[in-house]
């Protein structure tokens, strides 16, 4: 499960207040669209689809990425794929699979004649290389390696070549999500990456850790998906072209995909993305709830359709840095603030002090609902409040009472101070350009001011944010979200494992990073981690549901993440794009290989 940072799912407070800045930026967008129009005119003979992302990709190396980079889903594939409507598994690079009676062995049979995007054969050796040498490599940190660990000892399955077309995954014990993981994780080309995996640079680290960076020539980035990288211009666009060696064909034997170019425009904000869509420069727009009324009015004139997929398979949250560790003797978090953040009553008070219903009304225009669980509502493992999930309804009086109970006090000016008289003040960050998160941060700042807390709210550049969360770990509080993983709760194990690469609220040092001294793992934290392991081992569905119900109760009891709002999945798609099967699970483009561009 990747750190989503939701650049696409950013969701009219007051209509005219919001419309005015849109009108003001329209001239800028119209001028900037000249470059896009010029680009499109160069490819008038090509069918192409254009969408936008708010930030540049940090890397084209999928295992090394903690961001939800759409490029990966276009250039890489796994042995099986997920149907975006049903969530069921379907053959992809593997034409079939067999599961042993004890549920510990899966044998995949590859399709004949598979090729990488450079024309080289894609073989069982690539499967073995991808898992044994990359995902199972202790020197390569990745979210994929987190979720592939089996049992309390975190043992990887073994991946064995049986013959030229068959490969077997053997689990040391029953592992419920093995098929979904082993099949769904993207394969990587041995012929292109072996040298980087098996050699080190001058710094003594594997060259793979910095391989396939954004400065790598596009032709050197090899995949097996429907597209391949054609060009990348920082702060402008990523351009992909049809992969001529892609395995899928239509009923008439024509090579898929039908679309020949896929362009990802890099924009600086949701406002710019919106204006480019309204001016005709984009084909697809994830519709922010605060702009829904405006976009809906233009549906007929703009010749597009707004699809509603129900609740998004994503979450948004506020979290505090609970890490009490040090690097080279320096605490990651100011010890005074660390004491606040690690006080349970403080976190519960913060959850009670945030007015999520006002957030839904003002920021999401009523198109959303309060979120209380890390497991999506569509999942059979979701625990509802009616079934026992603890919730935090807006109650500032109760929040103040909890803080007083924990030893905090109020000064004569009603500023909250701790037992030693230190004013309670912290910095809250999120990714700049995401207007929904910026609005959420502004409201949280006001909500917490109402109980005497000063919040310094600072939106920062996306890549700066990722570096703070993944590398330096020097942050106090942030607003972000996770997405992906579908309805299988184990896909979030790398969030809840105490050593997971996305254990954001108390992140441990990853391979290649300076070590941490004095990091403390709480008992409840360890218990959740162990429950996720137990859930992955349990094959009885009723028992699995009970295990994940307990994890949800614990996450809400100890509130490492304060969940905020779950919006609706809304997407505006031009009507000349044929074959859209939109869902919250798959989005607009899960079946990109069969989409067509019709007459405009």
> What are the two backbone dihedrals, phi and then psi, of residue 80, each rounded to the nearest 5 degrees?
-130, 165
Q: Look over the chain and give the mean of its residue pLDDT values, rounded to a whole number.
A: 90
Question: Are 403 and 544 found together in one domain?
Answer: yes
On whether the CB atoms of residues 67 and 484 are closer than 8 A, the answer is no
Question: Are 46 and 109 found together in one domain?
Answer: no
Among 125-134, 178-187, 284-293, 454-463, whose mean pLDDT is lowest?
284-293
Q: Assign 550 a pLDDT band (cuts: 50, 70, 90).
A: very high
Q: What is the DSSP letter of 423?
A: B
Q: Is the pLDDT of residue 124 over 70?
A: yes
CA 362 vs. chain centroid, Å, equals 25
pLDDT at res. 486: 79
Q: Is the pLDDT of residue 65 over 70?
A: yes
**3-state DSSP call for residue 93?**
coil
Distance (Å, whole) CA 71 – CA 264: 9
10 Å Cβ neighbour count for 119? 9
The string of pLDDT tens digits covering residues 399-446 is 999 999 999 999 999 999 999 999 999 999 999 988 899 999 999 999
Domain count along the chain: 3
Question: Are 84 and 66 found together in one domain?
Answer: no
Q: Is residue 440 part of a domain?
A: yes
Q: Is residue 507 part of a domain?
A: yes
Average pLDDT for 84-111 = 94
Q: Is the pLDDT of residue 6 over 50?
A: no
Question: Are 341 and 229 found together in one domain?
Answer: no
Question: Are 572 and 586 found together in one domain?
Answer: yes
On whether the CB atoms of residues 170 and 155 are closer than 8 A, the answer is no
Q: Is residue 5 part of a domain?
A: no
CATH code for position 282: 3.40.190.10
Average pLDDT for 364-387 = 93
Question: Are 179 and 120 found together in one domain?
Answer: yes
Question: Are 247 and 282 found together in one domain?
Answer: yes
Q: Assign 44 a pLDDT band (cuts: 50, 70, 90).
A: low
CATH code for position 444: 3.10.105.10
Q: Is residue 178 part of a domain?
A: yes
Q: Is the pLDDT of residue 14 over 90?
A: no
* Tokens 């020949």 sit on residue: 260
Tell me what percent of the residues of the chain surpass a pLDDT of 70.
92
User: 566 - beta bridge partners?
Assistant: 369
In total, the chain counts a number of residues equal to 600
Question: Are 347 and 220 found together in one domain?
Answer: no
CATH code for position 171: 3.90.76.10
pLDDT at res. 288: 84
Kind plus residue range of the DSSP H or E element containing 228: strand 227-233
Q: Assign 19 a pLDDT band (cuts: 50, 70, 90).
A: very low
Question: Are 325 and 185 found together in one domain?
Answer: no
Distance (Å, whole) CA 242 – CA 225: 9
Distance (Å, whole) CA 282 – CA 271: 13
User: Which residue has better confidence, 112 or 28?
Assistant: 112
The string of pLDDT tens digits covering residues 499-522 is 888 999 999 988 778 889 999 999
On whether the CB atoms of residues 593 and 254 are closer than 8 A, the answer is no
Q: Is the pLDDT of residue 20 over 50?
A: no
Q: Is the pLDDT of residue 229 over 90?
A: yes
On whether the CB atoms of residues 573 and 580 are closer than 8 A, the answer is yes
pLDDT at res. 12: 23
Question: Are 120 and 41 found together in one domain?
Answer: no
Q: Is residue 3 part of a domain?
A: no
Domain end marker among 161, 194, 227: 194
pTM reported for the whole predicted model:
0.75
pLDDT at res. 90: 96
On whether the CB atoms of residues 123 and 110 are closer than 8 A, the answer is yes
Question: Are 589 and 507 found together in one domain?
Answer: no
Q: Is residue 203 part of a domain?
A: no
Tell me what percent of the residues of the chain surpass a pLDDT of 90.
77
> What are the two backbone dihedrals, phi and then psi, of residue 251, each rounded to the nearest 5 degrees?
-65, -25
Output the CA–CA distances (angstroms, integers) from residue 534 to 235, 335, 375, in the order listed. Answer: 44, 34, 16
The string of pLDDT tens digits covering residues 464-490 is 998 899 899 999 999 999 876 778 999
Q: Structure tokens of 277?
A: 């869509």
pLDDT at res. 154: 87
Question: Are 240 and 339 found together in one domain?
Answer: no
Q: Is residue 9 part of a domain?
A: no
The domain containing residue 182 runs over which residues? 80-194
Closest of 600, 565, 570 to residue 587, by C-alpha: 570
Give, rounded to a whole angstrom, the gap between the first and last alpha carbons of the chain. Answer: 37
pLDDT at res. 4: 35
Query: What residue ranges in 461-557 does DSSP mark as E strands?
Result: 477-483
Over 118-132, what HEC string results? CCCECCHHHHHHHHH
Q: Is residue 60 part of a domain?
A: yes
Closest of 164, 505, 472 to residue 320, by C-alpha: 505
């Amino acid at each position: 499960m990747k750190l989503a940072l939701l650049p696409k799912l950013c969701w009219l407070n007051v209509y005219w207040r919001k419309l005015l800045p849109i009108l003001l930026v329209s001239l800028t967008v119209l001028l900037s669209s000249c470059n896009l129009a010029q680009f499109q005119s160069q490819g008038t003979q090509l069918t192409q689809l254009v969408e936008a992302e708010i930030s540049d990709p940090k890397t084209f190396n999928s295992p090394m990425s903690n961001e939800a980079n759409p490029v990966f889903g276009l250039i890489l594939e796994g042995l099986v794929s997920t149907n975006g409507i049903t969530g069921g598994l379907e053959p992809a690079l593997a034409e079939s699979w067999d599961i042993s009676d004890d549920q510990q062995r899966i044998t995949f049979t590859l399709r004949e004649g598979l090729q990488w995007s450079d024309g080289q054969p894609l073989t069982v050796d690539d499967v073995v290389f991808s898992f044994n040498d990359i995902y199972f490599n202790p020197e390569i940190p990745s979210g994929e390696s987190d979720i592939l660990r089996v049992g309390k000892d975190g043992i990887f399955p073994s991946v064995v070549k049986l013959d030229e077309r068959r490969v077997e995954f053997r689990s040391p014990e029953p592992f419920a999500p093995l098929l979904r993981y082993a099949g769904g994780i993207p394969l990587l080309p041995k012929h292109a990456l072996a040298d980087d995996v098996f050699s080190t640079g001058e710094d003594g680290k594997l060259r793979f850790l910095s391989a396939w960076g954004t400065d790598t020539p596009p032709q050197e980035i090899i995949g097996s998906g429907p597209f391949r990288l054609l060009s990348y211009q920082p702060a402008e666009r990523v351009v992909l072209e049809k992969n001529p060696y892609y395995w899928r064909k239509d009923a008439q034997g024509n090579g898929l995909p039908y679309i020949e170019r896929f362009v990802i425009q890099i924009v600086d904000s949701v406002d710019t993305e919106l204006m480019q869509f309204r001016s005709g420069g984009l084909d697809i727009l994830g519709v922010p709830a605060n702009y829904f009324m405006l976009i809906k009015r233009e549906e007929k004139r703009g010749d597009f359709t707004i699809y509603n997929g129900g609740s998004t398979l994503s979450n948004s949250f506020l979290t505090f840095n609970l890490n009490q560790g040090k690097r080279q003797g320096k605490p990651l978090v100011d010890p005074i603030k660390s004491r606040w953040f690690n006080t349970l009553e403080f976190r519960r008070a913060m959850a009670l002090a945030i007015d999520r219903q006002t957030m839904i009304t003002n920021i999401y225009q009523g198109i959303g609902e309060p979120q209380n669980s890390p497991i999506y509502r569509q999942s059979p493992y979701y625990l509802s409040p009616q079934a026992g999930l603890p919730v935090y309804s807006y109650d500032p009086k109760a929040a103040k009472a909890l803080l007083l109970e924990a030893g905090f006090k109020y000064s004569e000016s009603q500023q909250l101070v701790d037992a030693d008289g230190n004013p309670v003040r912290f910095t809250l960050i999120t990714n700049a350009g995401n207007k929904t998160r910026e609005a959420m941060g502004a409201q949280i700042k006001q909500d917490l001011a109402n109980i005497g807390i000063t919040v310094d709210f600072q939106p920062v550049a996306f890549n700066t944010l990722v570096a703070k969360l993944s590398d330096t770990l020097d942050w106090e509080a942030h607003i972000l979200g996770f997405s992906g993983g579908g309805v299988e709760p184990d896909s979030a194990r790398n969030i809840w494992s105490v050593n997971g690469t996305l254990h954001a609220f108390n992140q441990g040092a990853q391979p290649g990073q300076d070590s941490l001294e004095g990091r403390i793992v709480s008992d409840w934290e360890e218990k959740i981690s162990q429950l996720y392991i137990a859930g992955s081992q349990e094959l009885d569905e009723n028992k699995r549901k009970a295990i994940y119900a307990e994890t949800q109760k614990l996450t809400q009891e100890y509130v490492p993440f304060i969940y905020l709002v779950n919006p609706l999945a809304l997407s505006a798609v031009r009507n000349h794009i044929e074959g859209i099967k939109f869902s919250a699970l798959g989005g607009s483009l899960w079946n990109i290989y069969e989409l067509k561009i019709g007459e405009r």
